[in-house]
Amino acid sequence: MIYLKTPEEIETMRSSSDLVSRVLGEVARWIEPGISTRKLDTIAREFILDNGGKPACLGYEGFPGTLCIEVNDTVVHGFPSDYILRDGDIIGVDTVVEKDGFMGDSCYTFAVGTVSEDKLALLRTTKESLYKGIEAARIGARIGDVSNAVQTYCEHRGYSLVREMTGHGIGRSMHESPEVPNYGRRGIGPRIQNGMCFCIEPMVNMGSRNIVIGPDGWECRTRDHKPSAHYEHTLAMLNDKLEILTTFDYIQEAIPDKFI
């Protein structure tokens, strides 16, 4: 069942979404060759706690980090570790923050140092596809319209969409109904109505869409080990208008010269 939020609840969602956006802005300042992903995780956790939030991924079904770390062929759910970022890597940072009882969820994939043209193109297309999905998420549209917009945009550019993981409703829980797949047909799925809060999060592969889950039961990589990119916003339908509650503006402010 889809929990529709009151305008007051959506106001609270604004503050968790703003905080998760600021976390990614803070992490952005530190991303460079030579830093470990564990260090990024510590920075994020302290930032969240200092700002009155709760790191919602930490301990979620046993997940061991504040951040999900997605380096190169990691699609989602990588653990923070002693891995040291290298020039030419891409790193997705996905995290959820709880504030005043509501969640905010966002993800951004960064370039570390100088990355190849083909990786840059993947990042650009993936981020653009998120906004194509957002454009399709009009009042009265169906979730399938969003899915189809993301899928066609990426597939026309030669990329593939991961199917096993999806976007999702969000609110007091990080994952609520409905699922928001990154592939599918127009005209199917639930209708988007006022009070709905959900996340769109394309996970886009340079090669095939196939994935493998690692021995820890979490880390999801591409089967062909080609790179994957991931961006995510938390959204709310309020007064017939879709509002993007999270923002990448803090990232842009933090790394104006490196912002993709």
Shortest gap between Cβ of 62 and ligand MF3 (angstroms)? 8
Which of 9, 41, 201, 219 binds ligand MF3 (CB under 6 A)? It is: 201
Contacting residues for 46 by C-beta, under 8 A, at least 6 apart: none
Query: 230 touches which of ligand MF3, Co ion, none (CB within 5 to 8 A by kind)?
Result: none
Which of 10, 96, 146, 211 binds ligand MF3 (CB under 6 A)? It is: 96
Distance CA 178, CA 121 (A): 30
Q: What is the DSSP letter of 84?
A: B
Closer CB to Co ion, 17 or 115, in the complex: 17
User: How many of the chain's residues bind ligand MF3 (CB under 6 A)?
Assistant: 13
Residues 198-237 within binding reach of Co ion (CB under 5 A): 199, 201
In this structure, which amino acid lies at residue 47?
Answer: F
Which of 7, 52, 60, 253 binds ligand MF3 (CB under 6 A)? It is: 60
Which of 9, 98, 105, 219 binds Co ion (CB under 5 A)? It is: 105
The DSSP annotation for 162-206 comes to: --SS-EEE-SSSSSEEEEE-SS--TT-SPBP-TT-EEEE--EEES
Which of 10, 24, 48, 68 binds ligand MF3 (CB under 6 A)? It is: 68
Residues that bind Co ion (CB under 5 A): 105, 199, 201
Residues that bind ligand MF3 (CB under 6 A): 57, 60-61, 63, 68, 77, 94, 96, 105, 168, 199, 201, 232
